[in-house]
Amino acid sequence: MALPFSRSADFPVDKPGGSPCGNLQADFGCGIHAELRPRGWTGCTVFDCHGAGQQVSQVTFAGEDWRGAPDTARRLFAVFAVMRPVHELLAYVTDALDRAETRPVHTALHRAHATLSELAAADADTVLAADVGALRAAVNPALLRAGDLVRARSPRRGPVHRGADLAGARLRGADLRGASLRGALLIGADLRGADLRWSDLIGADLRGADLSGADLRGSVYATGTQLAAARGDAATRLPEAVPRPEHWAAEGPVPPEAARAS
């Protein structure tokens, strides 16, 4: 309901923000949830609000919804727009805190977690008054330091490709252990058999990338939505806390030329 999307390879129709999706049912469920990919709704399968939607609807607005109280709709959606990046930051902070090697920065991470959690639990006015950019700027140094501590575990100091345009890059079998891929554009990249252990993947765009046989164990900030947007197979090794996308087994690996074309 809240978010817009455009007709593309990810969605078969246009939908403006604030209007209900045509597949939305009376119970707020999705009428085609089990068939999203074959029907062209891939964008839905790789979206994750990290619990922000549930927090806003069930906690901030105490179960009040836009159908029962249409006057609150615009306000509810505005709160969600702030809550979503707050919950995303919380997910990254939690990932960093779960790692023994990041102990030198745990104090800063715990402080960030407390600040973000307090904001997430606040009332609508407090959430709307929050400066998301300032929050990111305050939390990022601890996340960056934690990522560097994870990367330092690698027996090889990997390359720094922060924000690099690696779309369609031929990186098959590449040794990317301990690499910084923060915000890197890896759309359609050939990463088959690549070694990505202890790499920093925060914000990396892996849409259409082929991770068949790649090793991502120990990488930091990898999310389920990132991997769901990529391609992989049974030989792809993932970080312990990240689930294997269900569609990987059904689709199998795709040649990188095809991924780039799509």
The predicted structure's pLDDT at residue 123: 96
Residues, the chain? 262
Would you place residue 116 in the very low, low, confident or very high pLDDT band (cuts 50, 70, 90)? Answer: very high
Confidence label for 3 from pLDDT (cuts 50, 70 and 90): confident
Distance CA 260, CA 262 (A): 5
Stretch 2-9: mean pLDDT, rounded?
Answer: 88
Residue 258 has pLDDT above 50, yes or no: no
The pLDDT of residue 19: 87
Residues with Cβ within 8 Å of 85's Cβ and at least 6 positions away in sequence, in order, are: 132, 135, 136
Under the banding of pLDDT at 50, 70 and 90, the label for residue 162 is very high
Mean pLDDT of 148-163: 94
> What pTM, to 2 d.p., does this model score?
0.85
Measuring CA to CA, which residue among 210, 214, 216, 205 is closest to residue 150? Answer: 216
Alpha carbon 261 to its chain's center: 23
- Mean pLDDT throughout 61-82? 87
Domain 159-262: which CATH class? mainly beta
pLDDT attached to residue 249: 67
pLDDT above 60 (res 251): no
Look at residue 250 in the predicted model and tell me its pLDDT. 53
| Structural domain spans, the chain | 1-45, 52-151, 159-262
**Secondary structure (3-state) at 159:** coil
> 223-248 burial, b for 16+ CB within 10 Å, e for fewer?
bbbbbbbbbbbeebbbbeebebbebb
Question: What mean pLDDT is reported for the chain?
Answer: 90
Q: Which two tokens stand for residue 191?
A: 């990463």
Q: Residues 17-56: pLDDT tens digits?
A: 888 899 999 888 999 988 988 899 988 888 888 899 999 9
Distance between CA atoms of residues 47 and 40, nearest Å: 14
Calculate what percentage of the chain has a pLDDT beyond 70. 95
Residue 90 has pLDDT above 60, yes or no: yes
What is the number of H-type helices and E-type strands within the chain? 9, 0
Only one residue has tokens 């179960």, namely 63
The reported pLDDT for the residue numbered 257 is: 40
Residue 129 pLDDT grade (very low, low, confident, very high; cuts 50, 70, 90): very high
Of 159, 175, 172, the residue nearest 257 (C-alpha): 172
Strand partners, 175: 195
Q: How confident is the model at residue 18, as a pLDDT?
A: 85
